[in-house]
Structure 1
Amino acid sequence: MEINTNSLQFLFGSTIRALFKQSGKEFENQGLNLSPEQHYLLRILTSQEESIQSDLAEIMQKDKSAIMRHVDQLEKSGYVVRVNDAVDRRKKHIVITEAGTELLQKCETVIANLMVKNLQGISDDELTTFKKVLSKMKENAEK
């Protein structure tokens, strides 16, 4: 079976993989010990007051065990801590540490620079249209 490299599915998938590979390589080049998935996880943790593993799994659209592996690595590196819930002792909130926040800021600078590079030759109007189309496609897929 021949792969249609012009199909939307192929283009989306290969673009996402290329962007993740690019950011992972640049994190490594900058001496930042973080994978693109872990970067995304830290970014989520800074945008939410309280995060538990199941919430993170839902947001990242990954299974809980994959999230647990990332959290374990981040905790081992000192970038997150698990905090007991005040009401339900079985619940552990994942909280970003100061070291995690500092690392995230460095990663955000790397990502911003990569976005400037990756958006070269794309007008603001094209980008706005692209975002609208992606939003509509996502909305249709979730129906």
Structure 2
Amino acid sequence: MTAMAPARTETDLSFLLDHTSHVLRTQMAAALAEIGLTARMHCVLVHALEEERTQIQLAELGDMDKTTMVVTVDALEKAGYAERRPSSTDRRARIIAVTEAGAEVARRSQEIVDGVHRAALESLPDDEREVLVRALNRLVGGHLATPAEGPQPARRARERAK
């Protein structure tokens, strides 16, 4: 007797969300690449323009690790879009300051990001678009607001250099 796969009783929400998210990210990456930006570069520019923020604060907002953030800010500096400067409130802290060229490219990249999102939503009939956005906002603010704490491997304490 051969074993049979269990019958699925619910819609595969994980696949639907993963697939649409993946395709949206690839479309976004391709659209932003046309002006020489990555989604991370866009994210850093926009959040740095909102208010004075440190590299660490920007990394947290963009869900980036320290290494990725350094590479992203290095690329923004090389392009002339941002620079690391001492904070005006804490001389020990360094903030990411957006240049005039960076502010201009951020304006253009925000138009691109909005356009990619608009195109995705406009592929749906009006009534479905509103229901989808409302439902996703409800999930993000409710049942799917916080990731579950998963089992993590025990981390060894670092040995102090002698």
**TM-score bin, normalised by smaller chain:** 0.7 to 0.9
Question: Whole-Å Cα distance in 2 between the matches of residues 18 and 44 of structure 1?
Answer: 24
Counterparts of 1:71-82 in structure 2, within 5 Å, are: 71-82=73-84
Amino acid at match of 1:137: L
> 1:90, 1:66 → 2: CA distance?
22
Find 1:10's aligned residue among 5, 8, 15. 15
Which of these residues, 60, 63, 67, is aligned with residue 61 of structure 1?
63
User: Are residues 21 and 128 of structure 1, via their aligned partners in 2, closer, same or farther at CA, if it must alter by over 3 Å?
Assistant: same
Shift of 1:88: 2.9
1:23 alignment counterpart: 28
Question: How far off is 1:66 after superposition?
Answer: 1.6
Measure the CA separation in 1 of the matches of 2:18 and 2:44: 20
Bigger share in helix: 1
Runs of 5+ unmatched residues, structure 1: none
1:119 matched to which residue of 2? 121
Q: Which amino acid aligns with 1:82?
A: R
Q: Partner residue of 1:51?
A: 53
Q: Mark the CA change 1:25 to 1:87 in structure 2 (over 3 Å): closer, same or farther.
A: closer
Taking the aligned partners of 1:96 and 1:7, their CA distance within structure 2 comes to 42
Q: Secondary structure at the match of 1:119?
A: helix
TM-score by structure 1 length?
0.79
Structure 2 partner of 1:41: 44
Per the TM alignment, residue 131 of structure 1 is displaced from its structure 2 partner at its CA by: 2.5
1:127 aligned partner, one-letter code = R
Answer with 1 or 2: which has the greater Rg: 2
Q: Contact 2:122–2:129 at 8 Å: present in 1 too?
A: no
Aligned length: 137
1:71-113 Cα offsets, whole Å, 9 max, x none, are: 1111121111111023433211112111111112222232333
Deviates more, 1:84-93 or 1:33-42: 84-93
- The superposition leaves residues 23-47 of structure 1 with CA deviations (integer Å, 9 ceiling, x where unpaired) of 221233x3x111122112222222x
Q: TM (normalized to structure 2)?
A: 0.71
